[in-house]
Structure 1
Amino acid sequence: MPTSVWDATSLPQFSAIDVNSIEEDLTVILEKNRKTMAACVAQDAPLTWENFVLPLDQINDELGAFWSPISHLNSVKNNPELRDAYNACLPKLTQYYTEIGQNHGLYQGYKTLLNKAESEGYTQAQTEALVQEVRGFELSGVALEGTAKERYGEISQRLSELSSAFGEHVLDSTQAWSKLVTDESELSGLPESALAQAKQMAQAKEQEGWLFTLDFPSYMPVLNYADNQALREELYTAFATRASDNAPTGTEYDNAPLIDEILALRHEMAQLLGFSDYAALSVATKMADNGDQVIEFLNDLAVKGKPAAEQDLKQIQEFAQAEFGVGTLNAWDIGYYAEKLREHKFSISQESLRPYFPINKALSGLFHVAQTLFGIDIREETEFDSYHKDLQLFTISKDGSDVSRFYLDPYAREAKRGGAWMDECRVRRRLQNGQLQLPVAYLVCNFTPPIGDKPALLTHDEVTTLFHEFGHGLHHMLTQVEVAAVSGINGVAWDAVELPSQFMENWCYEPEALAYIAGHYETKASLPQDLLDKMLAAKNFQAGMQLMRQLEFSLFDFRLHKEYSAGISVQDLINEVRQDVSVFTPPSFNRFQNSFSHIFAGGYAAGYYSYKWAEVLSADAFSRFEEEGIFNQETGALFRDTVLANGGSRPAAELFAAFRGRAPSTDALLRHSGIAA
């Protein structure tokens, strides 16, 4: 069979993107694709994988190759011209995908192939792809007729617009606010790295003083370290009211009306498709059997975790009272006194660890872990088409042959969406000409950038984020599946997709691995034993409160979609969830939901619980390495060849059992979190 090759078309050519022609170019591609689909459906020859699935995969891939870099740039290098072009294309894309989902000819074609999959000797990956394609059509309204079909298309179109607008509002509201401080005495307590970054940001704006924004690397040091309570309150208030009617910059970016409309349309869509609610529709493609099982899972964790969270809060309150005479804690005080307590108990802070985690050392340590466990090599490329000076490109090889590539865009900057994520650039698949297309991934973070002549120095939390996103990348890049629909992360149940990412985080806490990950940026010295001991001792500091915070988000999301009815008060529901599971109630002006992009502008609607669901899997999977050695190459190869290699070609529960030898248990998660012995 022909070998795989890299060529000029295997990577995006960012510099070749012409904003003025995007919409026109997309129109041409979509019309060409429609003709190809019509020809596939109308052909007289008996349908086969080769004459039906592969041509459809090809046009899907060509569309992805065109749209992927545009969508990526819209997230990482946003500007008005690109945003306008992007938004002009969304209705065309939504209409196109709605047409596909309701195309009876395509649906019948996939069903025909599925019915003869066994007799034709299709592989498991081919069969599973057909199963998922058929299910996808049924969940996209292929059986709808008349006004119901028309209405489904209208809903899809509007939801696409609302999702994009929600994300833009969060970005714009975040960037609309900043705080310039000109008196350094107001910044006592802030670490040198935060001060240097704030001064560098002010200089970039040709301002004198220290400039703070709502981007996480700027915001969090103030909340955790600034002695100035008024400054903490001001930043907390601005952050907690982003994209809301309470925002200090005004109501222009208020997402509340968008949330109401999104929820109503999702509920209507679910009912059109025969589901009682959107949560039921969401769970139809996940590991969880039904919505009740999800609620039971979350409530069970809440019952087990709440006593630990209550104890965490009590410790902070007692410490603030005893050491600082502060009797009442506000939301903008919790992080500050928690950090003081961490330093008091463990003589350590995230800031004290920064010098030992320069990004290049953290990267080389990450690569060492992956290379040792999974038998791969990673090299950096220097010649490629880039959109920013900080962008890096790496190639992964195995047994002397290239298997994948990934971009790394590590630092926070203006016009870049917050958070961290991995996205697909190219998918691994077998082409019609027999060649193998190799996968390419985008890995995006928002780390604190380099300051002055120092390299970027990461907190340990940022190192963990790097490992997390690389875990997603490995899932995409080390797949051995050659069928696009179930290759890499494609076709993986959403509540299992976080398994590899959360799994990789564990090495950030293992002394044997930290020997490779950590090293002082000036002296190259290893992390001192006493600092390592303190870091590990502090690993589960406030773990109970962190668990309950994630359960709060998960229950809010799932109940919001499960219990939706016309006129539901989103604020009342999140207040009710907080009353049940939270140990500290935020102020009444808090509008967290208005910037909850995961569920209103991302893929986690009625699925945010997936983080905890998958964390059970990842903790249990890692427990095998605890038993057999964290660098055990046989165990690493088994994880690679079961979980990572198979993508969505086999059910996630089956792959987990193939690796672990049994069904998952919550014991390891509770033990790793320090919540259970």
Structure 2
Amino acid sequence: MPETPPPRASRELTGTPAAFTDGCRRDMQRARAEADRARRLGPAGGVDTLEAFDAAFASLGEAASRASLARNVHPDAALRDAAEAAEQEVDALSTELSLDRGLYDALAGIDVSGEDGATRYFVSKSLRDFRRAGVDRDDATRARVRALRDELVRIGQEFGRNIKDDVRKLELDPGDLDGLPEDWKRAHLPAESGRVTVTTDNTDYVPFMTYARSATAREQLWRLYRLRGHPRNLDVLSRMLARRAELARLLGYPSWAAYVTEDKMIGSEGAAADFIERIARAAEARMARDHAQLLERKRKETPGADRVDPWDSAYLQERVKAEQYGFDSQSVRPYFEYARVKEGVLDVTARLFGITYRPAPDAPVWHPDVEVHDVTEGDELLGRIYLDMHPRDGKYKHYAQFTLASGQRGKRLPEGVLVCNFPRPAAGAPALMEHGDVRTFFHEFGHLLHHVLGGHTRWAGQSGVATEWDFVEAPSQMLEEWVWDPEVLGRFARHVETGAPIPPELVRRMKAADEYGKGLMVRQQMFYAATSLELHRRAPDALDTTALVAELQERYTPFRHVPGTYFHESFGHLDGYSAIYYTYMWSLVIAKDLFGPFRAAGLLDPGPARRYRRAILEAGGSKPAAELVRDFLGRPQTFDAYEAWLNA
């Protein structure tokens, strides 16, 4: 077998906008050529036909991944625009090929009865995807499907761009910063006017809402945060819902929710709705207790208060944890300096999974902030990871793992990118993280590991995080468990001034405090899940999205809707996840079950980790997710571990 070429995909993000476009179009030309070869070979070509089919969509995937990454992170606005246009071209070709009856017939006629299970699964899943795309519809229907899919790509880009580019600013008096950490205040010094500027970026917003004592200032920032994307995304969302509903009807489904849930583990929109209600009911009593504690705490500051406002929630939860559970979140921040946390994530995952991260300082990068590591096992190069970890103008505002290149055994090494917005280290001022930031780091790094370790499958279409969408969060959610273990944290969480490791007793208090608020968190997640599902279950004609979201918020959470705010206009998951935000909680149910063998053996015992790596991570999308779980646990998944966690 020829040697796999070294990682090189990042070079495409270091040239001119025109060069970037040319690179994407070369991949599109390769895709067309491989699709032509598959049609020409036909069913008689057997595995050769299948390899050509796989190569066609792999080439498209490479271009689509690079374009999505560049659109979200590149510092050059002109290149971001070129990436957005390239993404539209690539998606248009992908739609065209998914509706190509000749390509479908070539694949459908192949006899794979003698092939391995992964190949048989790949073919059956690909044929199902062709049918779901509308390949068997008449010419007029296929033409309309193609037009709708192209339009939805543009609408989705517009929706995300309106969120990303809408960074709002609030000017406050220095006194409004009372309660915030000193390092945060040093990074927000007053201007000549004497006022301090706070933005709606998460690095400002989350600490402010957690620690600021001024309820008036918190309310101002909270309201501003819920105006991101407004009013432009109100119309964009309406168009998105209308086009999705029309596309679903063309393909024979009563709603977009019915269409998009069909090929997930959950199987149907009704099952998704039932799952949301099951989780909501399970958390109801706990939510009520959590909220009662918040209201009791608020009455200490506002006697006679009859409700907790949404801008009070994070602040009051922090006060309850400090006063009733003996834990102040600020007390752990000095132990979570960014550089040490990063090294801790690398060290812990290397130990668990038997890999090494080797710095690659000469790798081409799109911004000086980006760090690059090659992932190795012994002398074998497994892939490359890029860490783009700090906020900047024009960059994606949340936290995610992006694909730069999908791996394939013998052909390409996987390259993945972690895109985050953690505090930036500055000269003489360490970047201190919240414990929640550390948890996010581990979570997103779990996706990166899945991408790299699963990036060596026979078929490109099964590479990396290629499982059903409602399973993809489970490996990352499970890795969050490591941030609660005193032994794990003791390896890297050291006081920024003294170097002393974090005391185990402090970790235990932190864990006990985290148990508080669980009911509120779960019900908030069910509000998000119900919002995403219900927006796509109802007829979009004359649908008042703001009224629906207000109704759902007050059904699932104890917080009233505030007129004049528009959460859904900046709910970015409505683009990518559409109706299936429930997948986060569905995956968490699985993650709690997967964690059992690790809990039993010890979190730093490599035994379960190596079995887990082989059974789940390395398998990529070569089996249905339920089979992957069964391969690791030796049984089907159950609800028991999640229920025990919720009721702990």
Q: Deviations over 1:579-601 (max 9, x none)?
A: 3321222312221111111122x
Matching residue of 2:93: 96
C-alpha spacing 1:387/1:28, structure 2 compared with 1 (3 Å):
closer
Q: Does 1:292 align with 2:270?
A: yes
Q: Does 1:196 align with 2:186?
A: yes
For 2:80 and 2:10, locate their aligned partners in 1 and report how far apart those are by CA, in whole Å: 19
Matching residue of 1:225: 211
Matching residue of 2:44: 46
What is the letter of the counterpart of residue 460 of structure 2? A
Q: Verify the 8 A CA contact 2:382 2:414 in the aligned structure 1.
A: yes
How many residue pairs are counted as aligned between the two chains? 646
What is the letter of the counterpart of residue 628 of structure 1? A
Q: Verify the 8 A CA contact 1:90 1:161 in the aligned structure 2.
A: no
Give the unaligned 5+ runs of structure 2: none
Give the superposition deviation at 1:622.
Answer: 0.6
Q: Deviations over 1:646-665 (max 9, x none)?
A: 11101101111111122222
For 1:197 and 1:161, locate their aligned partners in 2 and report how far apart those are by CA, in whole Å: 37
Q: Does 1:613 align with 2:586?
A: yes
Give the superposition deviation at 1:25.
Answer: 5.4
Matching residue of 2:595: 622
Match of 2:126 among 123, 126, 133: 133
Q: Verify the 8 A CA contact 1:357 1:520 in the aligned structure 2.
A: yes
Q: Which runs of 4+ in 1 moved over 6 A?
A: none
Q: Deviations over 1:69-125 (max 9, x none)?
A: 343122113554234323433442232112101111111111122xx111xx32222
Matching residue of 1:634: 607
Q: Does 1:489 align with 2:487?
A: no
Matching residue of 2:32: 34
SS at match of 1:46: helix
For 1:495 and 1:421, locate their aligned partners in 2 and report how far apart those are by CA, in whole Å: 16
For 1:5 and 1:27, locate their aligned partners in 2 and report how far apart those are by CA, in whole Å: 21
Q: Verify the 8 A CA contact 1:428 1:483 in the aligned structure 2.
A: no
Deviates more, 1:382-391 or 1:495-504: 382-391
Query: Normalising by structure 2, what TM-score?
Result: 0.95
Match of 1:574 among 541, 549, 555: 549
Matching residue of 1:250: none
Q: Deviations over 1:434-460 (max 9, x none)?
A: x34221111111112224423322111
Q: Verify the 8 A CA contact 2:226 2:566 in the aligned structure 1.
A: yes
For 1:637 and 1:32, locate their aligned partners in 2 and report how far apart those are by CA, in whole Å: 37
What is the letter of the counterpart of residue 243 of structure 2? L
C-alpha spacing 1:67/1:272, structure 2 compared with 1 (3 Å):
closer
Matching residue of 1:251: none
C-alpha spacing 1:314/1:361, structure 2 compared with 1 (3 Å):
same
For 1:455 and 1:444, locate their aligned partners in 2 and report how far apart those are by CA, in whole Å: 20
Give the superposition deviation at 1:23.
Answer: 4.3
SS at match of 2:647: coil
Query: Normalising by structure 1, what TM-score?
Result: 0.91
Q: Deviations over 1:478-536 (max 9, x none)?
A: 1242210011112x100001111001000111112111131112322100234223212
Match of 1:553 among 519, 524, 528: 528
Q: Verify the 8 A CA contact 2:383 2:415 in the aligned structure 1.
A: yes
Matching residue of 2:112: 117
For 1:157 and 1:2, locate their aligned partners in 2 and report how far apart those are by CA, in whole Å: 38
What is the letter of the counterpart of residue 182 of structure 2? E
Deviates more, 1:61-70 or 1:149-158: 61-70
Matching residue of 1:150: 143
Give the superposition deviation at 1:261.
Answer: 1.2
Report % sequence identity: 28
Q: Does 1:282 align with 2:282?
A: no
SS at match of 1:605: coil
Q: Verify the 8 A CA contact 1:364 1:516 in the aligned structure 2.
A: no
Match of 1:534 among 483, 490, 509: 509
Q: Verify the 8 A CA contact 1:14 1:387 in the aligned structure 2.
A: no
What is the letter of the counterpart of residue 194 of structure 1? W
Matching residue of 2:155: 162
For 1:208 and 1:452, locate their aligned partners in 2 and report how far apart those are by CA, in whole Å: 24
Give the superposition deviation at 1:634.
Answer: 2.0
Q: Does 1:346 align with 2:325?
A: yes
C-alpha spacing 1:640/1:31, structure 2 compared with 1 (3 Å):
closer
Give the superposition deviation at 1:29.
Answer: 4.6
Aligned ranges 1:178-257 → 2 under 5 Å? 178-181=169-172, 183-199=173-189, 209-245=195-231, 254-257=232-235
For 1:100 and 1:195, locate their aligned partners in 2 and report how far apart those are by CA, in whole Å: 54
Q: Verify the 8 A CA contact 1:391 1:410 in the aligned structure 2.
A: yes
Matching residue of 1:329: 308
Q: Deviations over 1:198-220 (max 9, x none)?
A: 23xx78xx986532110011112
Matching residue of 2:244: 266
Q: Verify the 8 A CA contact 2:43 2:106 in the aligned structure 1.
A: no
C-alpha spacing 1:331/1:168, structure 2 compared with 1 (3 Å):
same
For 1:583 and 1:296, locate their aligned partners in 2 and report how far apart those are by CA, in whole Å: 21
Give the superposition deviation at 1:548.
Answer: 0.2
Q: Deviations over 1:527-569 (max 9, x none)?
A: 0234223212212121110000001110121122123342222
Q: Verify the 8 A CA contact 2:554 2:561 in the aligned structure 1.
A: no
Match of 2:563 among 588, 593, 609: 588
C-alpha spacing 1:156/1:188, structure 2 compared with 1 (3 Å):
same
Deviates more, 1:59-68 or 1:72-81: 59-68
Aligned ranges 1:406-417 → 2 under 5 Å? 406-417=385-396
Q: Verify the 8 A CA contact 2:468 2:625 in the aligned structure 1.
A: yes
Matching residue of 1:77: 74
Give the superposition deviation at 1:318.
Answer: 0.7
What is the letter of the counterpart of residue 239 of structure 2? E
C-alpha spacing 1:528/1:91, structure 2 compared with 1 (3 Å):
closer
What is the letter of the counterpart of residue 73 of structure 1? A
Matching residue of 2:400: 421
SS at match of 2:381: strand
What is the letter of the counterpart of residue 413 of structure 1? R
Give the superposition deviation at 1:222.
Answer: 1.8
